[in-house]
Amino acid sequence: MTDRATFLGRIRREMGKTSGLFPATTAPRPSHPRLIAETLRRELAERWRETLERFRAEFERVAGVYHRVRTAAEVPDVILAIAREREARAAVTWHPSALGTDWRAALTAGGLVTATMPAAGVEAIGERQALRDLIAAADLGVTGVDLAVAETGSLVLLSGSGRPRSTSLLPPYHVAVFDRDALVESLGQVGVFLEAWHDGDPAAWRGGVINVITGPSRTADIELTLTRGVHGPKEVHAVFVEGGLRG
C-alpha cells in the first residue's frame, strides 16, 4: 500500500525528468477561511453586475441556457416555459428549505407534475431506491446553486438533506436557480469557500458530495461523434433572480 506522500513524491520525481515544466507547489491553506470568505462576500457584493455578466458569457459559451428574472415569484413561469417547449410533464425539486422558496403549487397549477425532495435524508435502502427511481423518471430537475463561477461558467452544488445530488444528474433537463449571493469570480475564490465550508464541524444537513457542473453532459465515441445527455442532463438552464431567493 502506497501512502499519499510517497505517491505524490513519485509523481514529482517523474515530472522533474521533463524539461520546460514550471515548478508546482501546493497552495497554502488559509488559517481563517471563514473570515476570508466573509470579506470576499462583501467585496463581491459591490461588483456583482460585472461578475454576473461574465458568468452569463462563459455559461453560454459552454452551451448553458441563461435566464434572468426580477423576483423569485417569476421563476415558475420560466420553468413552465422550459417544460412546454420540451414536452416535459414531471419535475423534481430540492426541498423549499434548500431552495429558499416553494414553487410546488405554482408548478402544479401550471400542469407540471412536481415532487419535492424530503427535508431529511432517507436511510432505508428501499426508500432510497424509490426516491432515486422517482428522480430518474422526471423530465426536469430543479435545484439551487451554492456558487456560480464567472471564470468558467460553472455551477457548484453541495449535496445534503433536501438536496440530493441526483436531482441535478438524472433528469434530462436541469434548471438551477441562483441569486447574487452565489456569484464568485474565479476558481481561486471557490477554493476559499471550500475551505470555509470544511472549517470546523460540518453543518448537520450537509452531504459528502460537491458537484461542479460546467454545461450539459457531453461524450464522444471513437469517431468523435459528440452526444449530449449520456452521463447527465442534455440541457442545463441557469435562472438568475435579481431580487434574491429569500428576500
Report the residue count for the chain.
247
How distant, in Å, are the alpha carbons of 115, 191, 192, 203 from that of 34? 35, 12, 8, 14
Whether residue 8 is contained in a domain is answered as no
Domain of residue 39: give its range.
Answer: 31-241
Whether residue 246 is contained in a domain is answered as no
Whether residue 84 is contained in a domain is answered as yes
Whether residue 247 is contained in a domain is answered as no
Whether residue 59 is contained in a domain is answered as yes
CATH number reported for the structural domain that contains residue 56 in this entry: 3.40.50.10420
Give the predicted TM-score (pTM) of the model: 0.85
Which of 236, 228, 100, 110 lies closest to 167, judged by CA? 236
Q: pLDDT tens digits, residue range 97-151? A: 999 999 999 999 999 999 999 988 777 778 888 888 999 999 999 999 999 999 9
Q: pLDDT tens digits, residue range 2-46? A: 688 888 888 888 877 777 666 667 777 888 889 999 999 999 999
Whether residue 93 is contained in a domain is answered as yes
Whether residue 110 is contained in a domain is answered as yes
Number of domains, the chain: 1
Query: Can you tell me which residue has the cell 441535478?
Result: 168
What are the φ and ψ backbone dihedral angles of 145, each rounded to 5 degrees?
A: -140, 130
Whether residue 37 is contained in a domain is answered as yes
